[in-house]
Amino acid sequence: MTDLQDAFSFPDEFDIAPVRLTVDLGALVENWQEMARRSSPARTAAVVKADAYGLGIEDCGTALYEAGARDFFVAVMQEGVTLRSFAPDARIYVLSGIWPGQEPSFYEHGLVPVLASEEQLSFWMSVTAEHGDHPCALQVDTGFNRLGLPLEDAIAFADDVSRPASFSPVLVLSHLHSGDTSSSPLNRQQLEAFRKLAQAYDGIELSLAASAGTLLGPEFHFDLTRPGIAVYGGEALNGVPNPMKPVALAEARIIQIREAKKGETVSYGGTYQLTRDSRLAVVSAGYADGYLRSLSGTGVPLRQTVAEGAHGFVAGRKVPVVGRITMDLTIFDVTDIPSSEIRAGDYVELFGRNIPLDDAARAGGTIGYELLTSLGLRYERRYLYPGD
């Protein structure tokens, strides 16, 4: 033990962190199991792209693998290489496909490229001709105009006599662009297009539904569903109560509680003027931590259309953000909380159990996906494991 260690006691870093994030892996697993129940008899994959939606691919991927997930989707090859260490016998699909120079990693780590263009198809066939057969997936555009072969080209490719006999994808997939709106007739249009595709690829597994598509019902499920945001506790369908459990709890520590007089202004630009004598809690989170500037109580363009900014939760009450959120700091009005119930060093919930993720996102004019994947590097993280 060093002299410094003798002189000081060192508390748990989580207990004193300026910003901290609790990830409930038990809730994550329960959400995935609920999506698997709704998907049955189709299999249910786990989407862990973007560092498991900002919550940590290592811990989230391990928990989902141990819960029984054996099909995973990542966005880029590097994510697949990382995941392989925690999911040794899973099938890992890489949604961005493959680029020249990446072939050794795909073969070494058993990654499955999702081919989405004629260029990728041509390149992949040359790779397998040189290095031997390796599984791939084929993405088809059924109306999104994002990634994927055009529908008619994909159908023609299925019967192309020049296609190498050894080339056979293990999965054909597409993606709904309006799945989050259950009443949209465009979902039915894409479903019918995908059914045409299914006839051309008889005997090959099919996947159309992500989180929203899974909740739309069995006819969208096919062989494999791909839930993402729902597993992480976010809303998948607009205007429908969220059946998922919250997974992430983001908190920021109060640095100072200050007194301010009626008529004084708060934060940059003086855009918020106090209408009463107030007590203000200044917390150590800002847009550098993914607590977006658009969540500000005043002084941002969004407040012209969405009147109310974000709220936090502390001492059993919701408290509003006042003034502009800055890079490292946010100010909450805690006037209505008795001074005996709150002090510097306490934590304000930014989103989690009491401030739903998507409610916070809506206050910033965005979606839960963006809040989660914008979490900065400064959060001290704690993972709660199933059974904790």
Binding residues: 146, 327
Side-chain half-sphere CA neighbours of 55 within 13 A: 34
Spatial separation of the C-alpha atoms in residues 151 and 159, rounded to whole Å: 13
For the question of residue 49 being annotated catalytic, the response is yes
Q: Nearest 5°: phi and psi at 105?
A: -70, -35
Please report the beta strands in 261-315, taking only residues with DSSP state E, as ranges in sequence order: 265-266, 272-273, 278-283, 311-314
Q: How many CB atoms lie within 10 A of CB 291?
A: 31
SS3 assignment, position 181: coil
Residue 172 CB burial class (10 angstroms; 0-12, 13-18, ≥19): buried
Give Cβ neighbours of residue 274 (< 8 Å, ≥ 6 apart): 260, 261, 262, 263, 264, 265, 266
Which residue type sits at 45?
Answer: A
Out of 49, 93, 232, 383, the active site residue is 49
Asked whether the beta carbons of 350 and 371 are under 8 A apart, the reply is no
Q: Beta partners for 140?
A: 149
Give Cβ neighbours of residue 55 (< 8 Å, ≥ 6 apart): 21, 23, 28, 232, 247, 248, 372, 375
Spatial separation of the C-alpha atoms in residues 272 and 269, rounded to whole Å: 8
Spatial separation of the C-alpha atoms in residues 326 and 33, rounded to whole Å: 39
Question: How long, in residues, is the chain?
Answer: 388
Out of 107, 262, 268, 318, the active site residue is 268
Spatial separation of the C-alpha atoms in residues 95 and 373, rounded to whole Å: 17
Annotated binding site for substrate: 146, 327
Spatial separation of the C-alpha atoms in residues 164 and 34, rounded to whole Å: 40
Spatial separation of the C-alpha atoms in residues 275 and 292, rounded to whole Å: 25
For the question of residue 385 being annotated catalytic, the response is no
Asked whether the beta carbons of 171 and 224 are under 8 A apart, the reply is yes
Q: Which sequence positions are flagged as catalytic? A: 49, 268
